[in-house]
Amino acid sequence: MTQPLDKKALRVEMRALRRHLFDSTPEAPARAARKLPVSRFGRFSIVGAYCAQGAELDCGPILQAILDLDPTRTQAALPIAAAKNQPLQFRLWRPGDPLTPDAYGIPSPMASAPLLLPNLMITPVLAFDRQGGRLGQGGGHYDRTLAALRRDRPVFVLGVAFAGQEIDHVPMGPHDQRLDAIVTETAYIEVGKEAA
């Protein structure tokens, strides 16, 4: 099989697995937030997060834990997909702010919210490995976005997943962007380090 076919088959398998994990571990978001070594994240001022769709693990408790470190300094930003094959844009979002569907129907901040450039990105994954490999949905939005952000400044990328989404090796292409760390309901994993 070629790599694209491998990724396609893996996505089908991992979507089914993630749905099962989502249904069987509803407490996973809160447990993942407790596994995060929050004090390590105080250096980040703009946190890019996401609105969980389908069976994605909700990053809300993780985002809130990071925002609570310094509410006067740390801001949250949510993505807006404006066009296919373009990097995501991030706009300021505060808990309770209204959301509106973007070009793909994903709840996003209002167009009047200021644009921000995150220095911490919290990303959903379909599968991950301990080398920082990340399998996404296949549209390339996060890979394009992370590549664009990393051209301009250092960006720490935190993958959020169920522990059962870990695989030995994620097939990676030349444009795929790696994670710096992963947090699950059972562990915090820094790439190249043992679980903490």
pLDDT value, residue 40: 94
Candidates 55, 59, 61, 93; CA nearest to 76 is 93
- In this predicted structure, the answer to whether residue 35 has a pLDDT above a threshold of 70 is yes
**Token pair for residue 8?**
């396609």
Residue 46 pLDDT exceeds 50: yes
Q: Which phi and psi angles does 7 have, rounded to 5°?
A: -65, -40
5/179 Cα distance (integer angstroms): 23
- Tell me: the pLDDT tens digits for 132-188? 999 998 778 899 999 999 998 899 999 999 999 999 999 998 889 999 999 999 999
Tens of pLDDT, residues 6-20: 888 999 999 999 999
Residue 195's pLDDT is what?
Answer: 45
Is 105 exposed, middle or buried (CB count within 10 Å of its CB: 0-12, 13-18, 19+)?
exposed
All residues at 6 or more sequence positions from 124 whose CB lies less than 8 Å from its CB, including other chains: 50, 52, 53, 56, 57, 59, 136, 159, 160, 161
Residue 48 has pLDDT above 70, yes or no: yes
Provide the β-strand partners of residue 134: 128
Dihedral angle computed from the Cα positions of residues 31, 34, 37 and 41, in that order, rounded to the nearest 10 degrees: 90
Q: Does 194 have pLDDT greater than 70?
A: no
Give the pLDDT confidence score for residue 139 in this predicted structure: 78
How many Cβ atoms from other residues are within 10 Å of residue 177's Cβ? Answer: 22
Query: pLDDT of 83-129, one tens digit each?
Result: 777 899 999 999 889 999 988 888 999 999 999 999 999 999 999 99
**pTM summary value:** 0.92
**CA neighbor of 79 nearest in space, from 55, 54, 103:** 103
